[in-house]
């Protein structure tokens, strides 16, 4: 069935069912948290048969894992501004807008909370961040090639350093970070990287912490 570009995701009925179910699951997580997620309720909200939801996702944790996989698939490509600081600012801006968005911010808090007590959700969350970091790491690697940062800089560590203060602010104070915090996060990660803080030793890269 033809549709206007952007109005439905490609892939036919199966993909549309998935999109509707994941949208409903995200809504419940953002509104009420992981403890209130229920497959029958999600099916009702998504206007999809309960049997379909049970057969396809099996459990609440299976549904959250698929939601995180979808979020990773849908996550935006990195911005290429021509400088490391510009790229890190673009990344910080994206993280900040995500966490400050009422639905998205609540969704991340709910999923991170669920990961604290559910191993499958924790694994899906790790994979989500692996995808995000792999997407943005080249901006640091290219900066090293251009001579903006010292060689041996751990690109993943720099990308994580941009996100860390923004997540920390949201998770410990409950207040989403603003644009000034995003700018500061990017400048702090760049200054530390330029000072060689993220240079890893020969042959013994530090653990991904």
Binding site for a copy of itself (CB under 8 A): 32-33, 35, 109-110, 112-117, 122, 125-126, 129, 157, 160-161, 163-165, 167-169, 171-175, 177-178, 180-181, 184, 187-189, 191-192, 194-195, 197-198, 205-209
- Closer CB to a copy of itself, residue 69 or residue 188? 188
Residues in the chain: 209
Measured CA to CA in angstroms, residue 191 lies from 54, 85, 139, 194 at distances of: 49, 9, 15, 5
Closer residue to a copy of itself, CB minimum distance, 17 or 155 = 155
Q: Given the complex with a copy of itself, which of 49 and 178 has the nearer CB atom?
A: 178
Q: Residue 117 in contact with residue 110, Cβ under 8 Å? A: no
Nearest approach, Cβ of residue 6 and a copy of itself (Å): 30
Closest CB 9 distance from a copy of itself, rounded Å: 27
Q: In the structure encoding, which two tokens stand for residue 95, read together?
A: 């993280």
Q: Do the beta carbons of residue 75 and residue 132 sit within 8 Å? A: yes
CA atoms within 13 A on the CB side of 141: 7
Tell me 177's DSSP state.
P
Closest to a copy of itself by CB, 136 vs 198, is 198
204 bridge partner residues: 201
State the chain's maximal CA–CA distance in angstroms: 57
How far apart are CB 138 and a copy of itself at their closest, in Å? 21
Cα-flanking dihedrals φ and ψ of residue 95, to 5°?
A: -65, -45
User: Closest approach of Cβ 129 to a copy of itself, in Å?
Assistant: 5
Q: Which is nearer to a copy of itself, 40 or 117 (CB)?
A: 117
Cβ atoms within 10 Å, residue 111: 24
Give the nearest distance from C-beta 93 to a copy of itself in angstroms: 14
């Amino acid at each position: 069935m033809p549709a206007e570009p952007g109005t439905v995701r490609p892939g036919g009925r199966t993909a549309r069912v998935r999109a509707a179910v994941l949208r409903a699951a995200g809504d419940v997580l953002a509104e009420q948290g992981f403890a209130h997620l229920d497959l029958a309720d999600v099916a009702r909200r998504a206007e999809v048969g309960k049997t379909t939801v049970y057969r396809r996702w099996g459990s609440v944790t299976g549904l959250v894992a698929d939601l995180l996989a979808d979020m990773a698939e849908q996550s935006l490509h990195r911005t290429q501004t021509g400088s490391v600081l510009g790229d890190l600012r673009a990344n910080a801006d994206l993280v900040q807008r995500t966490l400050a968005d009422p639905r998205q911010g609540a969704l991340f808090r709910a999923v991170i909370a669920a990961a604290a007590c559910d191993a499958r959700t924790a694994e899906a969350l790790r994979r989500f961040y692996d995808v995000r970091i792999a997407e943005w790491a080249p901006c640091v690697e290219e900066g090293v090639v251009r001579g903006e940062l010292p060689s041996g800089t751990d690109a993943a560590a720099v990308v994580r350093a941009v996100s860390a203060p923004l997540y920390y602010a949201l998770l410990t104070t409950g207040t989403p970070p603003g644009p000034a915090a995003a700018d500061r996060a990017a400048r702090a990660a760049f200054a530390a990287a330029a000072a060689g803080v993220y240079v890893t030793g020969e042959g013994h890269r530090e653990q991904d912490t």
